[in-house]
Structure 1
Amino acid sequence: MKQDEILQDGHGRRFYYLRLSVTDVCNFRCDYCLPNGYQARHQQPDLSVAEARTVMRAFALLGTRKVRLSGGEPSLRKDLPELIHSAKTTPGIQRVAVTTNGYKLPSLIDSWQQSGLDQLNVSIDSLDSDEFARITGHDCLPRILSGIDRALELDIHTKVNAVLLSDGTQARLYQFLNWLKTTPVTLRFIELMQTGDNRDYFASNHVRGADLERQLINAGWQLIPRALDAGPAREYVHPDYAGRIGLITPYSKDFCTSCNRLRVSAQGKLHLCLFADAGLDLREAIQTGDADVLAEKVRALIGNKEVSHYLQQGNTGGTQNLSIIGG
């Protein structure tokens, strides 16, 4: 595709990266997202493999290079390997990623790799087993870590996501730093984001990543360049560590200026922003199976993308929790 055909919004941002949710169901009960467990909010079925393939083909026509399959928890779909294979074999898609809580990772990672998985993101908010169980509702940290070890054996580029929480930040940081000495993953600290369901929790637990970033820089961590299809993290390396550290700080100034990703929900709605007021329904166009038709619809809608998520003003849009469209 010619460079001038790449999807671009009215603010000059170009979009190389699609986050495609394949389910909003999740089996974890994380304090900051689904403390009471998953509650269905809709009646529509999730996108089928054929429908997901049409979405990926359409976005590839618009210049998308990377597809991330997310949730909810995508491993709850038995056809996830088929979805990975569909992404991997879509002309124009260069990188296929999955974000998971890792609960089923040891038993599934080989099949994902065989289907074409390039990158894995696993959510681990603490390396302390008891604290992990308290945050998620599941006492399974050793199993998840063994799944990560297997992913590394399979040469899958692996990242670990950890939400920054005000209580115990330094203790968790030291645990992660010790782990990164010998473990070649990218650990990404993510600022807690306010959603419609977690306002009180956010008020009690939010901590900005800027202080942690200064601490890392003072300790000799060095910023590396960001790829065109990379996520929003600023990644740092240190010569004494096998792993890297990334920071995702959505409350920082100008965070949205580098936005390069769009989201489609498991029900076929286009979310121009994680915190947009509502998704834009693409299901009818998706069901035609015509990627060109769908691509033109997306191109027509991109002009509605706002310049910012306005999180700083307390806006949460239609995002009641992050499992809805994969964070």
Structure 2
Amino acid sequence: MSESIRVPSPAQPLVDPFGRSITYLRVSVTDRCDFRCVYCMSEDMTFLPKKDLLTLEELDRLCSAFVRQGVRKLRITGGEPLVRRDIMTLFANLSRHLQSGALEELTLTTNGSQLARYAADLAACGVKRINVSLDTLDPDKFKAITRRGDLGVVLKGVEAAQKAGIAVKVNAVALKGVNEDEVERMINWAHAGGMDMTFIEVMPMGDIEPDRFDQYWPLKQLRARLMETYTLEDIPYRTGGPARYVRVKETGGRIGFITPLTHNFCESCNRVRVTCTGTLYMCLGQEDAADLRAPLRASESDEPLDAAIAAAIARKPKGHDFIIDRETSRPAVGRHMSVTGG
């Protein structure tokens, strides 16, 4: 039996110092992307050497270690995860945890550029729900935000995913002066297509060319504006992530708000992130990290890996230190979002 599919004995569940059970893992499989979104990447990005990345087999083994320790939801991210060569091999292997019942959900966040190609395969691997990052429905504006994307290709990908039976949630970063005039249009479009719509505040991560303060549009302002058009009803709906949802009475659809700056979501955080190099970040907004690649490669036994994971979770902080203002010119953390995993 190969290393990636052996079944070691169960390990202890992961609980952080504040009593929060860690049940949600986000894993970046690549820092590369076929877009260069203005709030996420520099236009001239330097990507990691391929030799530094975990292999697909190592990613499988690492994810399986977390599942063994109580992770119930696994999200594959990037960069753009679907540009990783042979990525469907990883999805196919991880689907065994869905079949066994150890994992409740296997999902991904994508820019949609490769969805038309992979939607049917993802559905076959048990993926039932995905997030698609889409900040505008204007083709020219889309090209400007992504620096190279084609809106038509993404929309065909969304259609392919829905045709394959995958529920789509649309994620849009709220960008002052960029998509302010589109939010009602995007909500109506998403809800008409049976999709949830989530808005996200700009996160101060990594040096980029625009000033993030110039991009920053607080979601409390966005929500106040929406209340002039819609009736928003607070609901207890949760997906396991940080979004807080309302239902729009006029459309019947849901809107989510992810507000790391105006209202952080740390008190209920059940999430950790692993980069494509095997670095575990216990908090998106802190620099403290643990190297999982070394124990992963040091032994065929999973005991060193399990011990490294447990030791890292014991250091998970209570919350992040995100701040964005004119005086804080440097990002809260130096790494780009594409490195950590979107």
Q: Give me the TM-score of the superposition, normalised by structure 2.
A: 0.87
* Aligned 1:73-112 pairs, distance under 5 A: 73-90=80-97, 91=100, 92-112=102-122
The question of 1:26 aligning with 2:33 is answered yes
Moved more, 233-242 or 256-265: 233-242
Moved more, 55-64 or 4-13: 4-13
Alpha-carbon contact 1:54-1:289 (below 8 Å) kept:
no
Shift of 1:289: 4.4
Shift of 1:211: 1.9
Partner SS for 2:27: strand
- Identify the match of residue 192 of structure 1 among 202, 224, 235: 202
Aligned counterparts of 1:130 and 1:276: Cα–Cα separation in 2: 35
* Aligned 1:8-47 pairs, distance under 5 A: 8-41=15-48, 44-47=51-54
Aligned counterparts of 1:61 and 1:217: Cα–Cα separation in 2: 44
Partner SS for 1:304: coil
Paired residue type of 1:259: C
Paired residue type of 1:49: L
Partner SS for 2:25: strand
* Aligned 1:47-58 pairs, distance under 5 A: 47-58=54-65
- String of CA shifts for 1:206-253, please: whole Å, max 9, x gaps: 1111122334456222222244x6111112222432542111000134
Moved more, 4-13 or 25-34: 4-13
Gaps of 5+ in 1: none
Shift of 1:83: 1.1
- String of CA shifts for 1:130-189, please: whole Å, max 9, x gaps: 100111022411121111112112221211111111104431112202203411111111
**Equivalent residue, structure 1, for 2:234:** 223
Gaps of 5+ in 2: 1-10
Alpha-carbon contact 1:183-1:242 (below 8 Å) kept:
no
- Aligned identity (percent) is 33
Partner SS for 1:150: helix
Aligned counterparts of 2:149 and 2:30: Cα–Cα separation in 1: 23
Aligned counterparts of 2:12 and 2:58: Cα–Cα separation in 1: 24
Alpha-carbon contact 1:25-1:38 (below 8 Å) kept:
no
Paired residue type of 1:301: A
Partner SS for 1:323: helix
Alpha-carbon contact 2:42-2:208 (below 8 Å) kept:
no
The question of 1:299 aligning with 2:306 is answered no
Partner SS for 2:251: coil
The question of 1:321 aligning with 2:328 is answered no
The question of 1:174 aligning with 2:184 is answered yes
Paired residue type of 1:323: S
Aligned counterparts of 1:54 and 1:23: Cα–Cα separation in 2: 16
Aligned residues: 323
Alpha-carbon contact 2:56-2:90 (below 8 Å) kept:
yes
Moved more, 314-323 or 68-77: 314-323
* Aligned 1:150-165 pairs, distance under 5 A: 150-165=160-175
Alpha-carbon contact 1:44-1:267 (below 8 Å) kept:
no
Shift of 1:5: 4.8
The question of 1:141 aligning with 2:151 is answered yes
- Please report the RMSD computed on the Cα atoms of aligned residues, expressed in angstroms: 2.3
Moved more, 5-14 or 157-166: 5-14
